[in-house]
């Protein structure tokens, strides 16, 4: 509005929010980082499903009737939120939601699709894991869960799924164009 109450006759076109331009080498490094994070989520999913003897003991996998969340929530929690997390043990929705989250976040990051949803979901999962065991063992303020959350958000903000991923093709889908939060 001007002093006379009229709108200016010219407008300034502002482009839609576009990710920053990143050079080829940086794009490739970010793609490797994205894929590596994706594979960590996928590995956690596979290990918890089959009980491969790493974080999940053999014979205790989800496929064997084990509960991948019960051990951590029941015995691995500490601090101000421990009672809350311990109260979730055995709830019918906790393990399936956790497992779908691990698989979904892992696939999205590895493939470079749905980066916004993967980043928000992954960051939320990391923050919940951080709050489940406060204070952190090695540093009273920050640990790998916080760094993971920050990294996932950064990867989404720079559209890291478009290098060595399917992010470009994903963003052309009509549903993604209609609902940009699916990017």
Measured distance CA(135)–CA(80) in Å, rounded: 9
Least-confidence region, from 12-16, 62-66, 85-89, 120-124 = 12-16
Summarize the confidence of residues 18-44 as an average pLDDT. Answer: 92
Q: What is the mean pLDDT of the chain?
A: 91
pTM of the model: 0.86
Q: Domain residue spans in the chain?
A: 33-48+90-182
Summarize the confidence of residues 52-56 as an average pLDDT. Answer: 93
Ramachandran region, residue 6 (left: φ > 0; alpha: ψ -120 to 50; beta: rest): beta
Summarize the confidence of residues 55-82 as an average pLDDT. Answer: 94
Q: Above pLDDT 70, what percent of the chain?
A: 89
Q: What is the pLDDT of residues 56-67, one digit of tens each?
A: 999 999 999 999
Summarize the confidence of residues 15-37 as an average pLDDT. Answer: 86
Summarize the confidence of residues 50-54 as an average pLDDT. Answer: 95
Q: What is the pLDDT of residues 116-150, one digit of tens each?
A: 999 999 999 999 999 999 988 888 878 999 999 99
């Amino acid at each position: 509005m001007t002093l006379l109450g009229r709108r200016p006759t010219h407008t300034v076109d502002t482009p839609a929010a576009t990710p920053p331009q990143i050079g080829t080498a940086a794009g490739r490094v970010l793609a490797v980082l994205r894929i590596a994070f994706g594979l960590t989520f996928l590995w956690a999913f596979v290990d918890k499903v089959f009980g491969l003897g790493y974080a999940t003991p053999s014979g205790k996998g989800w496929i064997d009737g084990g509960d991948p969340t019960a051990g951590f929530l029941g015995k691995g929690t500490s601090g101000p939120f421990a009672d809350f997390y311990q109260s979730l043990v055995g709830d019918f929705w906790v393990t399936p939601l956790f497992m779908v989250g691990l698989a979904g976040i892992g696939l999205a990051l590895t493939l470079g699709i749905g980066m916004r949803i993967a980043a928000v979901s992954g960051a939320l999962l990391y923050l919940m894991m951080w709050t489940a065991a406060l204070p952190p063992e090695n540093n009273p303020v920050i640990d790998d869960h916080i760094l993971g959350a920050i990294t996932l958000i950064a990867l989404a903000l720079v559209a890291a799924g478009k290098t060595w991923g399917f992010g470009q093709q994903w963003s052309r889908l009509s549903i993604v164009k209609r609902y940009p939060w699916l990017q």
